[in-house]
Amino acid sequence: MLFVTLRDDPADAEIPSHKLLLRAGYIRRIGSGVYAYLPLMWRVLQKVSQIVRQEMNAAGGQECLLPQLQPADLWKESGRWDTYTKAEGIMFALKDRRDQEQALGPTHEEVITAIARDMIRSYRQLPQLLYQIQTKFRDEIRPRFGLMRGREFIMKDAYSFNIDEESLEKSYQDMHTAYCNILRRSGLAFRAVQADSGAIGGSASQEFMVLAEAGEDEVLYTEDGQYAANVEKAVSLPPEVEPSPFTSYEKRETPESQTIEKLCQFLKCSPTQVVKNVLYQTIFDNGTTVLVLVSIRGDQEVNEVKLQNELTKLAPKYGAKTVIKVAVPDAEDLKKLAVESLPLGYIAPDIAISIRDRDSDTTTATIDTIPDSVTRSVFDSNENPHKSAKDVAPRFLCLVDKTAVDLKNFVTGANESGYHVVGANWGEQFQLPELAVDVRKAKLGDRAIHNPEQTLQSARGIEVGHIFQLGIKYSIAMGATYTNEQGEEKPLFMGCYGVGVSRLAQAAVEQSYDQDGIIWPVAIAPYHAIVTIPNINDTQQVEIAEKLYAQLNQAGVETLLDDRNERAGVKFKDADLIGIPYRIVTGRAIANGKVEVVERKSRKSHEIAIAEVVSTLKQWMNEAMS
């Protein structure tokens, strides 16, 4: 066996599971986000795949294998070519020798919809559920943590086709059940949570989170089990507003008060009485840059995923299809947009108007291009180095978060460095932005909407699965229809369902290890048992070990034999490191017709009669996997 373990932690691995998989010889890094699955890892991946396959088959799924090389035309039909190659830029795109654009599949909605369009004609053929287990390619911005976020990884993706919403909901529920079974059988502690639908589109979606400290996602949930959501999507009740101490409108000097905390200390007020105005810059896929001002209650933060979703909805008003980027502009961005003089930290909700007025000699408002329901002003500065390129003219878009709408006598910026105003009101000193949205970040300790007595708890999770109700988004875009019982042509309802097979395997390690190494759940361990010969020069030890090794494998207990010419201590260390659930040692006890059997997880050691090893292990395995 090609068996190489490392004593020390590899330098480039940050989280325990990544370090352990490298050290124990499961994976090798070949390039950024690209790994070789070595024989031990491949066995784990096949076990996970097998569990996934069984549960998908049990839910009526049909396994297939779709091409990884996908023609750009399909992605142009669905409207996702630009999003995936430019906006998110996550798709590897290439040109073939005929100069035709192609992509390496990051996901397969387009391919499967094209197939459904050709093959599904009638309601009699529905519902359908197809799935595949395959390598996906994604040019992730930050590939990291080994298999957790690779640029090439294994996914099970499934797609359902249904006649209507109701049937789709049924398929979605079936997948929910299948996913719970997959994770339970893989021996993982997990939670299903409400999720953001992101660029895939559609309505309902849930993520399956494996709970672990190193998880990239934050989950907010309530103890009563009634609510759990990814923080990107979570909603809650904000804390109550404290009554304002200010009764009349006034401009106040507030030196050194760029932050809410300092401001509140200085003015002796609560952050709930402040309207904070946060500046963002968004770039649409047609190149238009828009400055976005979000007015939100001072004690709250902006959820950038919710903000991006709101901005995506507005894209058509800017002649665009989607948002490429939302970010807080840095000094350089502000300079590029010729708004470097903004009084950062003292911005008022009507900044757009003031800036234009103040700089009116150098700006030209291009009013005719304003989508007027959403912008306050549009201007094109003469100082703008890109002034000939109209598409970079900054525009201000003012949004107000719902938390700031009902505030009375509030504090906010005065549009002048070192000054704020107090006792302000919407409709008096400031016009309330027309677009009131929920872009607020729910957080730990907030009251739950379904029951204000429940407060949100927080946990970290690794997203290993995601199920979506896509609805008719793709079937409309690509013309995938069927004929219903009444003879009418209707769009297919679709769902899509993904499991990160390689991510799940590593998540299992992240959830289960100790200072000596990996502790695999029995169901997905590469081998169930390892027979270790302490001294290979002792022929009796070798003989018994080889016999047990053969018997165990024959009985379906997948077993390794460590007959290397190494010290016993080295072999025990390696067995612990690679995390095989049961270690059988043909040591001193053989004098009494017994062997030592150690359970990796509990470290409990038992002396078991040689003749009973097979039956005992089979029993333990069954218990562990039930």
Residue ranges in contact with ligand ATP by CB under 6 A: 107, 138, 140, 149-150, 153, 155, 198, 463-466, 498, 500, 502-503
Q: Taking Cα atoms as reference points, which of 499, 555, 501 lies closest to residue 44?
A: 501
Beta-bridged to residue 585, according to DSSP, are 532, 596
Closer to ligand ATP by Cβ: residue 155 or 264: 155
Least distance CB 433 / ligand ATP (angstroms)? 30
Q: How far apart are CA 360 and CA 319, in angstroms?
A: 26
Is the separation of the CB atoms in 528 and 582 below 8 Å? yes
Beta-bridged to residue 101, according to DSSP, are 95
Q: How far is CA 252 from CA 141, 264, 341, 358, 418, in A?
A: 45, 13, 21, 21, 9
Coil, strand or helix at 395? strand
Closer to ligand ATP by Cβ: residue 205 or 415: 205
The closest residue (CB) to ligand ATP is 500
Cβ neighbour number for residue 566 with a 10 Å cutoff: 15
Closer to ligand ATP by Cβ: residue 29 or 564: 29
**Pairing verdict, β 152-162 and 190-194:** unpaired
Q: How far apart are CA 502 and CA 150, in angstroms?
A: 9
Closer to ligand ATP by Cβ: residue 356 or 460: 460
Cis amide bond preceding 433, omega within 30: no
Q: What is the 3-state secondary structure (H, E, C) of 505-567?
A: HHHHHHHCEECCEECCCHHHCCCCEEEECCCCCCHHHHHHHHHHHHHHHHCCCCEEEECCCCC
Closer to ligand ATP by Cβ: residue 501 or 523: 501
The helix (H) or strand (E) run that includes residue 156 is strand 152-162
Closer to ligand ATP by Cβ: residue 153 or 221: 153
Closer to ligand ATP by Cβ: residue 342 or 507: 507
Least distance CB 284 / ligand ATP (angstroms)? 22
Residue 95, amino acid: K
Least distance CB 579 / ligand ATP (angstroms)? 21
Core vs surface per residue 541-564: b (16+ CB within 10 A) or e: bbebbeebbeebbeeebbbbbbbe
Least distance CB 140 / ligand ATP (angstroms)? 5
The helix (H) or strand (E) run that includes residue 74 is helix 72-78
Closer to ligand ATP by Cβ: residue 157 or 174: 157
Least distance CB 502 / ligand ATP (angstroms)? 6
Closer to ligand ATP by Cβ: residue 381 or 502: 502
Closer to ligand ATP by Cβ: residue 376 or 503: 503
> Residue 85 gets which letter from DSSP?
I
Complete DSSP assignment for 558-626 = -EEEE--SS-HHHHHHHHHHHT-SEEEE-SGGGGGTEEEEEETTT--EEEEEGGGHHHHHHHHHHHHH-
Least distance CB 466 / ligand ATP (angstroms)? 3
Is the separation of the CB atoms in 160 and 497 below 8 Å? yes
Closer to ligand ATP by Cβ: residue 26 or 396: 26
Q: Taking Cα atoms as reference points, which of 580, 586, 465, 487 lies closest to residue 534?
A: 586
Cβ neighbour number for residue 462 with a 10 Å cutoff: 29
Q: What is the 3-state secondary structure (H, E, C) of 201-233?
A: CCCCEEEEEEECCCCCEEEEECCCCCCEEECCC
Beta-bridged to residue 162, according to DSSP, are 493
Backbone φ and ψ of 424, nearest 5°: -85, 155
Closer to ligand ATP by Cβ: residue 106 or 394: 106
